[in-house]
């Protein structure tokens, strides 16, 4: 049965990957040969640098998770954290909305001997730190864009990109404040408990409501209390936020880095900051677009926004393809490999246990 599930999952992942590849092809089909020639101009150093960026980002995720998860499992390593983040990336890539990342993380924490309740705390701490850093970056970029306004021309009508960035910054700021208020104020905590209970009553039979209410209240209280305790560890919080800051700068810089590699051009600070702002908007949109892996939406947004900075259409299409490969396909493939390894280990463990039980029964007979 387990083998059938693995095969089914593998087939579904392959189908999704093929769909994403087709979407990418549609983006570049009009100039396929020119795009391929341009990508072929990437030298060994360029490819090595992009591979190292992927490894660096995975390592950053692993280090962040190691810092938080070690509060619940002292044996949790950076390698474990990296594996968990890759599985999370896989789930976010194959499920509608990128919140699927957290479900993947909870699954992988469970495989690392961390309870679901503690896994929620880890995700909450990691997510809050990420949210705060992204809010700071949004505000900094908003200030920069305020002094360097950019207009987008869509079907002959001009639209101010500043407004979009301000909206994204405001939403991130509200989200950051909300995450802190949940921990700091008991009334908000109680409100969330009540909302969760009301939602759960829709799916539960009446006789189970009282028992579920007690369990939900206890679990949420434990999660909030543990989160508050971890936030009090100032140095731990600073380290997580610092690593997240570096990680996000690298993620947001990647489109511009790819552009420089392909164009062999020179670094320009004004272009760089605008590219950071666009990357921020794309990342935000991918979190709310209900499409697995943001297939199609990410390419369209990239093409639309970066065409304001990159005038060469072939260059934009090549940049989209390289960016998508290193930010999506690589993580998807690595996540599948890690998940299949974990599943295979579970199957081997179950087989050994079954053999051990069978051997014991035979000896008793």
The number of angstroms, rounded, from the C-alpha of 203 to the middle of its chain's C-alpha atoms is: 29
Of the ranges 47-56, 84-93, 100-109, 183-192, which is most confident?
47-56
Antiparallel, parallel or unpaired: β 157-160 and 151-154: antiparallel
Q: Does position 211 have pLDDT exceeding 80, yes or no?
A: no
Distances 87 to 4, 90, 294 between C-alpha atoms, Å: 19, 5, 17
The whole-chain average pLDDT of the chain stands at: 76
Q: Which residue has the tokens 């987008």?
A: 152
Task: Give per-residue pLDDT as tens, 270-298.
Answer: 778 777 877 877 777 766 665 555 555 66
Could you give the CA distance from residue 337 to residue 199 in angstroms, rounded to a whole number?
A: 36
DSSP code, position 152: E
Confidence of residue 60 (pLDDT cuts 50, 70, 90): very high
Check residue 116 and give its pLDDT: 80
Check residue 157 and give its pLDDT: 44
DSSP code, position 325: I
Tell me the CB-side half-sphere exposure of residue 277, using CA atoms within 13 A: 28
Query: 43: which residues sit within 8 A by CB, 6+ positions away?
Result: none
Q: Does position 364 have pLDDT exceeding 60, yes or no?
A: no
pLDDT mean over 182-192: 70
Domain ranges for the chain: 2-181+242-346, 185-232
**Exposed, middle or buried: residue 162 (CB in 10 Å: 0-12, 13-18, 19+)?**
middle
Percent of the chain with pLDDT over 90: 7
Confidence of residue 106 (pLDDT cuts 50, 70, 90): confident
3-state DSSP of 153-209: EECCEEEEHHHHHHHHHHHHHHHHHHHHHHHHCHHHHHHHHHHHHHHHHCCCCHHHH
Q: Does position 303 have pLDDT exceeding 90, yes or no?
A: no
Could you give the CA distance from residue 342 to residue 346 in angstroms, rounded to a whole number?
A: 6
Check residue 173 and give its pLDDT: 81
How many other CB atoms sit within 10 Å of the CB of residue 146? Answer: 11
3-state DSSP of 37-60: HHHHCCCHHHHHHHHHHHHHHHHH
Of the ranges 22-26, 250-254, 328-332, which is most confident?
250-254
Check residue 326 and give its pLDDT: 87
Report which of residues 315 and 355 the model is more confident about: 315
DSSP code, position 97: S
Task: Give per-residue pLDDT as tens, 81-104.
Answer: 898 888 888 887 776 666 677 778
Could you give the CA distance from residue 277 to residue 49 in angstroms, rounded to a whole number?
A: 23
Could you give the CA distance from residue 122 to residue 163 in angstroms, rounded to a whole number?
A: 34
Check residue 154 and give its pLDDT: 45
Q: Does position 109 have pLDDT exceeding 50, yes or no?
A: yes
Least confident of 80-94, 121-135, 139-153, 323-337: 139-153
Phi first, then psi, for residue 201 (nearest 5°) are: -65, -25
Strands (E) located in 215-257: none
Could you give the CA distance from residue 87 to residue 103 in angstroms, rounded to a whole number?
A: 9
pLDDT mean over 306-311: 73
Could you give the CA distance from residue 120 to residue 151 in angstroms, rounded to a whole number?
A: 41
| Contact status, residue 188 vs residue 147, Cβ threshold 8 Å | no
CA 224, 228, 233, 237 torsion: positive or negative? positive
Check residue 48 and give its pLDDT: 93
DSSP states along 102-143? HHHHHHHHHHTT--HHHHHHHHHHHHHHHHHHHHHHHHHHHH
Helix (H, G, I), strand (E, B) or coil at 234: helix
Report which of residues 317 and 225 the model is more confident about: 317
pLDDT mean over 248-253: 89
Could you give the CA distance from residue 51 to residue 142 in angstroms, rounded to a whole number?
A: 30
Q: pTM to 2 decimals?
A: 0.78
pLDDT mean over 215-229: 68
**In residues, how long is the chain?**
365
């Amino acid at each position: 049965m387990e083998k059938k599930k693995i095969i089914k999952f593998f087939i579904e992942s392959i189908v999704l990957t093929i769909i994403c590849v087709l979407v990418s092809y549609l983006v570049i089909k009009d100039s396929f040969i020119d795009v391929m020639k341009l990508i072929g101009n990437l030298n060994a150093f360029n490819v090595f640098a992009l591979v190292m960026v992927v490894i660096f980002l995975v390592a950053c995720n692993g280090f962040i998770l190691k810092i938080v998860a070690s509060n619940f499992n002292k044996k949790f390593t950076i390698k474990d954290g990296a594996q968990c983040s890759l599985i999370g990336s896989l789930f976010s890539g194959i499920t509608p909305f990128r919140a699927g990342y957290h479900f993947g993380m909870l699954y992988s924490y469970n495989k690392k001997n961390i309870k679901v309740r503690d896994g929620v705390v880890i995700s909450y701490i990691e997510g809050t730190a990420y949210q705060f850093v992204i809010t700071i970056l949004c505000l900094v970029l908003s200030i920069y864009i305020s002094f360097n306004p950019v207009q987008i021309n869509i079907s002959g009508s001009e639209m101010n990109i500043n407004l979009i960035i301000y909206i994204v910054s405001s939403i991130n700021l509200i989200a950051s404040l909300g995450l802190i208020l949940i921990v700091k104020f008991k009334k908000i905590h109680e409100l969330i408990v009540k909302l969760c209970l009301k939602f759960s009553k829709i799916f539960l039979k009446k006789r189970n409501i009282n028992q579920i209410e007690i369990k939900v209240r206890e679990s949420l209280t434990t999660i909030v209390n543990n989160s508050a305790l971890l936030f009090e560890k100032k140095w731990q919080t600073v380290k997580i936020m610092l690593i997240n800051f570096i990680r996000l700068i690298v993620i947001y810089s990647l489109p511009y880095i790819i552009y420089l590699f392909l164009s062999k051009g020179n670094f320009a600070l004004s272009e760089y900051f605008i590219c950071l702002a666009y990357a921020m908007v794309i990342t935000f949109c991918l979190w709310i677009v209900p499409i697995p892996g943001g297939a199609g939406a990410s390419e369209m947004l990239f093409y639309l926004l970066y065409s304001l900075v990159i005038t060469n259409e072939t260059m934009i299409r090549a940049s989209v393809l390289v960016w998508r490969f290193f930010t999506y396909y690589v993580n998807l493939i690595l996540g599948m490999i890690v998940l299949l390894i974990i599943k295979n280990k579970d199957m081997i463990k179950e087989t050994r246990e079954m053999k051990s039980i069978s051997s014991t029964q035979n000896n008793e007979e």
